[in-house]
Structure 1
Amino acid sequence: MKAEAWIFAICSIFLVLVTPAYWFVTSASDQGGDWTGTSALVMTTLLVLMVTLYLGFHARKMEPRPEDRKDADIVDGAGELGFFPPYSWWPLWCAATLAVCVLGIAAAAWWLFIIGAVLGAIALCGFVFEYYRGEHAH
């Protein structure tokens, strides 16, 4: 995790340097600057800094992984890597019901929005609880 923390730290340093430079360059124009781009860069800087701090704190607490150690061999990284879910149709149904909800709002057809919301609640429950029943139950 130390390598990942360093990558995000370098990105944080870059954004800390670029954000005021962007503000300075755009404020030199006649229109008074680009507040949208500057605020987007500030928020991006803060988000990357948040990930940097998270990875840095967790890198200190956990024991080094094989890719973090200089004396590790390739075979040290062998074994189970984690749980990877199989295919699922539920994201498709969740996206379809969200599209129905958005269409209902855009067309000012509240009855369509309500139908999409009810079907969306069913699809979301199916998505959340898909590993508690059926073929892939734990």
Structure 2
Amino acid sequence: MKIESNLFLLPGAFFLFIGIVYGALTHFEEMVGFPAILLTAGLALMVGIYFKMLERRHGVRPEDRDDAEIAELSGDQGLYAPWSWWPIVLAGGGAIGFLALAVGWWLMVPAAIVGTVGLVGWVMEFSTGRFAH
């Protein structure tokens, strides 16, 4: 994860520096570009810090080592639900949300409801324990 974290931390530091220089050159009066550059830096730094935390938590992965074998990553890589209907519900909420841009903002309420139901259903599809379905 070291390469991935540096891939975001270095541009984040660059945009932070450039944002401060840009703000100083415009006397911090230009209130579109300056915050946009700082937000770009913040987003890049946020992802880079997250990857750095994953690196500390999981240690060195086989793909981070030069002497790793392909067989070290064999096996299951995660959980996939091939027959899940929840992504379709979530896509329907997104479609209603995009329709709201053309028709009217009042459609954002049903879009948010459908999208929230789809997201919660998809996340909780394989939940176990007291509230399992």
Q: What TM-score range do you get, normalising by the shorter chain? A: 0.5 to 0.7
Match of 2:4 in 1: 4
Could you tell me how far apart the structure 2 residues matched to 1:49 and 1:9 are?
A: 5
How many angstroms does 1:90 deviate by?
A: 3.4
1:124/1:2 CA distance change after superposition, 3 Å: closer
Runs (5+) with no aligned partner, structure 2: 128-132
Q: CA deviation at 1:44?
A: 2.0
**What is the TM-score of this pair, normalised by structure 1?**
0.62
SS at 2:32 equivalent: helix
Aligned to 1:21: 21
User: Structure 1: where are the runs of 5+ without partners?
Assistant: 133-137
CA distance in 2: counterparts of 1:63 and 1:33, whole angstroms: 45
Q: How many residues align?
A: 124
Q: How far apart are residue 5 of structure 1 and its match?
A: 0.9
Q: Distance in 2 between matches of 1:65 and 1:4?
A: 12
**Residue 80 and residue 96 in structure 1: after superposition, are their counterparts in 2 closer, same or farther (change >3 A)?**
closer
Structure number, greater radius of gyration: 1
Paired residues for 1:103-118 under 5 Å: 103=100, 106=104, 116=110
Q: Structure 2 length as normaliser, TM-score?
A: 0.64
Map of 1:135 onto structure 2: none
Identity %: 31
